[in-house]
Amino acid sequence: MPPNRDEPAAIEQGATTRVLLSRLVAIALPMIISQASETAMLFVDRLFLARVSKVHLAAAMAGGLTNFTVVSVFAGIAGYVNAIVAQYYGANQRTQCARSTFQALLFSVSTVPIVLLIARVIPGFFGIMGHDPAQVPLETTYAQWLISGSVILLMRNALTGFFLGIGRTRIVMIANIAAAFVNIPLNYVLIFGAFGLPALGMTGAAIGTLGGGLTALLILAIGYLSRRVDEAYQTRSARSFDRALFGRLIRFGGPAGIEIFLNVLAFNLFVQLMHGYGSDVAAAITIAFNWDIVSFIPMLGLGVATTAVVGQYMGANDIDGARRTTLLSLRIGWAYTGAMMVLFLVATGPLVRVFSGGFDDAASVEPLARVMLRLAGLYVMADSTQLVFAGALRGAGDTAWVMRMSAILHWVFAAIVIVLIRVVVASPIVVWVVFIVFVITLGAAMVLRFRTGAWQQMRVI
């Protein structure tokens, strides 16, 4: 079979910095572009909803974050196949790559009854968080639709993990860009009504999001089952349950999934409590986070690429290659988030008005949103730092420590937020500053763990 141009060369010991950078960029750049397309979908969807009302904008964030909280533990487990496949790839055990991926697909499908049950009880959650009564039915509708269709996300995560692990990220990029091209016009049509279709508002936004996700899943599935990939990895024949591989996925992916769940749950609690200040604060924090995702989500792509490349070098027993790859990834992350920091600090007003321009009472939202966005500029580099180092630690198999430390810091932060909002009744800006300090602390913790070198003795295969 001729070599695949999308797939990096076999892992070699003692690679030069140029080779390391080439491998990292070959995997990371398509993933960053992929995540940028995800950012575009989120950004434009919320921009559409902001044109309906500020309540719709706030409901999209609260409902979307609640959906991700529910499915995060499952998404973390399914997506951890990335690191497992990467280490099998580095060890030149190619058939195990597809067998591991099929276990992740089986796991994804097995979650359907659970998420459907959770979707039925979601309405009670928003009612106890003190949200604007006009916001509750909107965020409930949005969350229920997304949770019910979450198997699409989980299967996408599993197939994305396979292609990441073998270094073929171009197809992931193509799938995500195609999803954006479907999602954005579909959301416009379904939210506002067009071509004879009624305006569905929040329901339309959710259906459009699921439609984009299904598009990406179909493209990934076609690539996974293609003749070229099947000849190299036996993807068509690797369709049986493997107790050992499934157990390995749960053993190492479980901590990764629990980490994401606990972290997102704590973060969700923070956001929901901030929304309890009222619709103006809810709109302001949503505007700040809408711009924050422009910085954060592409760095998620860099983080998962770091996991994949570090996993490949760990599978090949090249510790130095894994370490140097991590530091190269950090430089890329700092270059991007440094530019975003400058943007947030010098162009705050115009950025805020992109969303607030359609509000009837923009003057009550914009001042707070501007302060929050400027302060957000202070933590974006710390955020990229923790994503890179946490990604490297996961690639090596150090998922249990990352889970413990990240969960501890997230829940200490959540406890402080509860006290500040419900007991002290602090201003929203005080709580926002505490959030920034928390992100910086999390980044420092991941750096210190990496520097201990404990990850160097770990493997997941």
Cβ distance 94 to 233 under 8 Å? Answer: yes
Closest of 442, 446, 130, 135 to residue 269, by C-alpha:
130
Packed helices 202-224 and 54-79: angle between N→C axes, nearest 10 degrees = 30
The model's pTM is 0.79
Say which amino acid occupies 285: I
Q: How many CA atoms lie within 13 A of 318 on its CB side?
A: 22
Per-residue pLDDT tens over the stretch 187-246: 999 999 888 889 899 999 999 999 999 999 999 999 999 999 999 999 999 899 999 999
- How far, in Å, CA of 328 to CA of 234, rounded? 33
CA distances for 424 relative to 418, 421, 427, angstroms: 9, 6, 9
- How far, in Å, CA of 245 to CA of 81, rounded? 10
Cβ distance 85 to 235 under 8 Å? Answer: no
Q: What is the pLDDT of residue 16?
A: 77
DSSP, res 454: G
Q: What is the pLDDT of residue 298?
A: 82
- How far, in Å, CA of 143 to CA of 58, rounded? 13
Closest of 23, 78, 323 to residue 217, by C-alpha:
78
The domain spans of the chain are: 17-457
- How far, in Å, CA of 333 to CA of 328, rounded? 9
Per-residue pLDDT tens over the stretch 402-439: 989 998 999 999 999 999 998 988 899 999 999 999 99
Write the CB contacts of 299 (distance below 8 Å, at least 6 apart in sequence): 35, 333, 336, 337, 383, 384, 387, 388
CA distances for 115 relative to 164, 188, 207, angstroms: 26, 27, 17
Cβ distance 277 to 292 under 8 Å? Answer: no
Closest of 86, 117, 113 to residue 100, by C-alpha:
86
Cβ distance 355 to 309 under 8 Å? Answer: no
Q: What is the pLDDT of residue 10?
A: 57
Buried b (16+ CB within 10 A) or exposed e, 5-24: ebbbeebeeebeeeebbebb
Tens of pLDDT along the chain (461 residues)?
444 545 555 566 667 778 888 888 888 888 788 877 877 887 788 889 888 888 888 888 888 888 888 898 999 899 999 889 998 998 889 999 999 999 999 999 999 999 999 988 887 777 776 677 888 889 899 999 999 999 999 999 999 999 989 989 899 999 999 999 999 999 999 999 888 889 899 999 999 999 999 999 999 999 999 999 999 999 999 899 999 999 999 998 998 888 888 888 888 788 888 877 887 888 888 888 888 888 888 888 889 889 988 988 898 888 998 999 999 999 999 999 999 999 999 999 899 888 876 666 677 788 888 999 999 888 899 999 999 999 999 989 898 899 899 989 999 999 999 999 989 888 999 999 999 999 999 999 999 999 999 999 887 77
Closest of 257, 247, 254, 138 to residue 203, by C-alpha:
138
Distance of CA 266 to the CA centre of its chain: 15
Q: What is the pLDDT of residue 1?
A: 40
Closest of 435, 441, 439 to residue 420, by C-alpha:
435
Angle at 376 between CA 370 and CA 382, to 5 degrees: 170
Packed helices 81-90 and 94-110: angle between N→C axes, nearest 10 degrees = 170
Q: What is the pLDDT of residue 308?
A: 86
Closest of 249, 325, 321, 254 to residue 88, by C-alpha:
249
> Residue 196: what are its φ and ψ, rounded to 5°?
85, -5
Cβ distance 80 to 161 under 8 Å? Answer: yes
Closest of 6, 320, 53, 333 to residue 172, by C-alpha:
6
CA distances for 373 relative to 40, 295, 415, 431, angstroms: 19, 12, 24, 14
Cβ distance 176 to 216 under 8 Å? Answer: yes
- Stated as kind and residue range, the H or E segment containing 183 is helix 170-192
